[in-house]
Amino acid sequence: MIFLFLTVSCVSATTITVGDNSNTNNSFSSIQDAIDQAQKNDSIIIYSGTYSETLKVDKPLSIRSSSLEPDDVVITSNNSSASIIHITADNVRISGLTVKGDSTNPSVAGIFIEKSKNCHVSNNIISNTQDGFYIESSSGNEIQNNTVLSNTEHGMYLLASTLSKLENNNILNNKRGLYVDESDQITIKDNKFSNNQMYGIALRKSSLCTITENQLVLNNIGLALTSSDENTVFGNNLNENNQYGLNVWHSNSNSVTDNYFSENKNSGIRLISLSSNNIFERNSFYSNLNGITIESTDNNIIKNNKFRSNEEYAIYHRFPDDKNTIEDNSFADNRAENIKLSPLQDILIVIITLIVLTIIAFHFGLSWLKKGLFGLVILIIISVILLLAWYFPFEAGMTENVEITNMQWTDNEAINETHTRGTLSFDLIYNDKYAYPNGFGDILSADIHISSRRLPSGNYELRYQEPLTLEYMEEYHYRQRLDLERENQDVLIQLYAEVFYDYPNPAYGDSKVEELGMDVLQINQSASDWSQAL
């Protein structure tokens, strides 16, 4: 009986072909037809060609190209609202395919692994989808030796998944590289993340992950940890990123050791916002703007690191009263090393020095020193005023996303003895699309609110609101008829838009309504003016 069972099991695993024109019972022209006809553990071999299909893999199968060369078998989407390959079974193997969406109407995902275990996806090219890989509620999967590029949302997105390995992949030119969200015990090793618009790797609410021996270059942020604890970051190269090599935000008890940070345009590491008990040890920081920037965070250990040729600070303390352990580091050729002086402290030192020199000058009657000190004092006063204006700009000079100009009120007709009807007109210019980290793009969808109040001390009442669309740096001429009371009025104009928080902000995915511009027009008319309008 045992022998019979083993014989039947071995025979039942067959090889099915697609596109080989052999006209046998195990040969198909459609990949999905082959999947539907296959039994568990069968192998499907696909011959060279382009196949326009969306595939649903709901049983354990091995699916590969005949040559194992991805360029030979291209699967394109015939339904952009569906994933090109959707895996819902355990023990599926996919290799040697090109999975390609439509760049003008990208598919939801290239390969979607949903509630599946122990799948192995290797040696594929995935491009022009929203998410190259989307892996949800899955465990024990291995994603290896894939090239993932030009996807509009994420190269790879893991959600609520565990115990998976991502190794030797090339993730490039995506909006975001790899996003690990609410996932634990993920191994990320020997991958290259380059030229991704937002970040190379990002962890959010993820723990016990190992990130080792990866190349993270030419991204906006190389690696970001947000609300993520007890992760290991070891032996990575984080170079030439547009902001930070590593951004640590509201994350605790992470180990960051033996990494190389160079030529990052802001800081090698930015440590921010209530991150504590992290260890940064045996890292090298070369030719960054700052080696490490510390902001609003305490109880971290920074030791045995090398800081060389950083343009500004080796270790920059945004606030001088942080309480971190910094010891046994080596410094060479940085403009400054580990100095905890705030701008106000710098000013105070200069003022004390001037006072001492002034006392000496008057005591010894040094007229030339008195004149020099007087000129220097005037220069210091001007510098302090400019510094204060920079830190605390006057309200009239503050930059707004949308500028409101040329406001006018024109009376059109009297309605009765208490109200008049007129036209409010003004111009809008959308002039700052980068005011928020995620930006608004060239098209801004906003809401305009028009309120009024009676002078001198009435409360504003909303008179009118509507949505409108503004184009970047294009003037928008706005006119609206309003009915107002026959009294002197302040008319308040406000522009609002919904701001979405992007990673690495801990509020990622949330949004709030922000005021982008406002101005007030005062309408002054005497009682005789009102009577003349009648």
Q: Which amino acid is at 429?
A: I
Quick: pLDDT tens for 221-235. Answer: 999 999 999 999 999
Q: Are 270 and 280 in contact (CB under 8 A)?
A: no
pLDDT digits (tens, 9 = 90+) for 319-339: 888 899 999 999 999 998 887
The yes-or-no verdict on residue 125 having pLDDT over 80 is yes
pLDDT at 348 over 50: yes
- What pLDDT shows up at residue 389? 47
First to last CA, the chain: 107
> Which pLDDT does position 396 carry in this prediction?
32
Pick the residue with more confidence: 288 or 395? 288
DSSP string, 261-294: EE--SSEEEEEESS--S-EEES-EEES-SEEEEE
Residue 434 has a pLDDT of 61
The CA distance from 221 to 503, in Å, is 10
Question: How far is residue 7's CA from residue 139's CA, in Å, rounded to a whole number?
Answer: 31
What SS3 state is found at 534? coil
Q: Considering only CA atoms, which of 140, 198, 145 is closest in space to residue 170?
A: 145
- pLDDT-derived band at 533, boundaries 50, 70, 90: very low
Which amino acid does the sequence have at 375? G
Closest CA to 14 of 43, 56, 46, 40: 43
Q: Which are the contacts of 106, defined by CB distance < 8 A and separation ≥ 6?
A: 80, 128, 129, 130, 151, 152
Whole-number pLDDT of residue 443: 86
- The beta-strand segments (E) located in 351-488 are 402-414, 419-430, 443-454, 461-471, 475-485
| Whether the Cβ atoms of residue 489 and residue 453 lie closer than 8 Å to each other | yes
The whole-number average pLDDT for the span 445-468 is: 88
Structure tokens at 325: 């352990």
Per DSSP bridges, beta strands 301-303 and 325-327 are: parallel
Q: How confident is the model at residue 391 (pLDDT cuts 50, 70, 90)?
A: very low
- Whole-angstrom CA distances from 186 to 38, 158, 212, 407, 433 are 32, 9, 11, 57, 36
Check whether 8 has a pLDDT greater than 60: no
Residue 177 has pLDDT above 80, yes or no: yes
Distance separating alpha carbons of residues 476 and 517, to the nearest angstrom: 14
The pLDDT of residue 268 is 98
Share of the chain above pLDDT 90, in %: 60
Structural contact between residues 290 and 339, judged by C-beta atoms closer than 8 angstroms:
no
CA atoms of 132 and 401, how far apart (whole Å): 34
What value does the CA radius of gyration of the chain take, rounded to a whole number of Å?
32
Q: Region 363-391: what's the mean pLDDT?
A: 59
CB 177 within 8 A of CB 203: no
Task: Output the CA torsion sign for 108, 497, 432, 204.
Answer: negative
Neighbours of 366 (CB within 10 A): 14
For residue 50, the cross-strand partners are: 74
- The average pLDDT across 417-429 equals 88
Quickly state the pLDDT bin for 363 (edges 50, 70, 90). Answer: low
Q: pLDDT at position 7, please?
A: 43
Mean pLDDT score of the chain, rounded to an integer? 86
- The torsion of the CA quartet 455, 456, 462, 466, rounded to 10 degrees, works out to 70
Q: Is the pLDDT of residue 388 over 90?
A: no
pLDDT at position 530 is: 38
State residue 531's pLDDT score: 37
Q: Comparing C-alpha atoms, which of 54, 93, 104, 100 is closest to residue 74?
A: 100
The one-letter amino acid code at 303 reads: K
State the pLDDT at residue 513: 85
Q: Return all residues near 424 (Cβ < 8 A) that are at least 6 apart.
A: 407, 408, 409, 450, 479, 480, 481, 482, 491, 521
Contacts of 504 (CB under 8 A, 6+ apart): 199, 202, 204, 221, 224, 225, 226, 247, 249
pLDDT at 91 over 50: yes
Q: Is 441 exposed, middle or buried (0-12, 13-18, 19+ CB in 10 A)?
A: exposed
More confident residue, 4 or 21: 21
Mean pLDDT score, 229-257: 97
pLDDT > 70 in the chain, percent:
82
pLDDT over 80 (residue 422): yes
Q: What is the dihedral of CA 519, 441, 247, 215, to 10 degrees?
A: -170
Q: How would residue 489 be classed by pLDDT, with cut points 50, 70 and 90? A: confident
Does residue 71 have a pLDDT over 70?
A: yes
Q: What is the DSSP string of 418-434?
A: SEEEEEEEEEEEE--TT
Q: CA distances (Å), 392 to each of 383, 432, 482, in order? A: 14, 20, 37
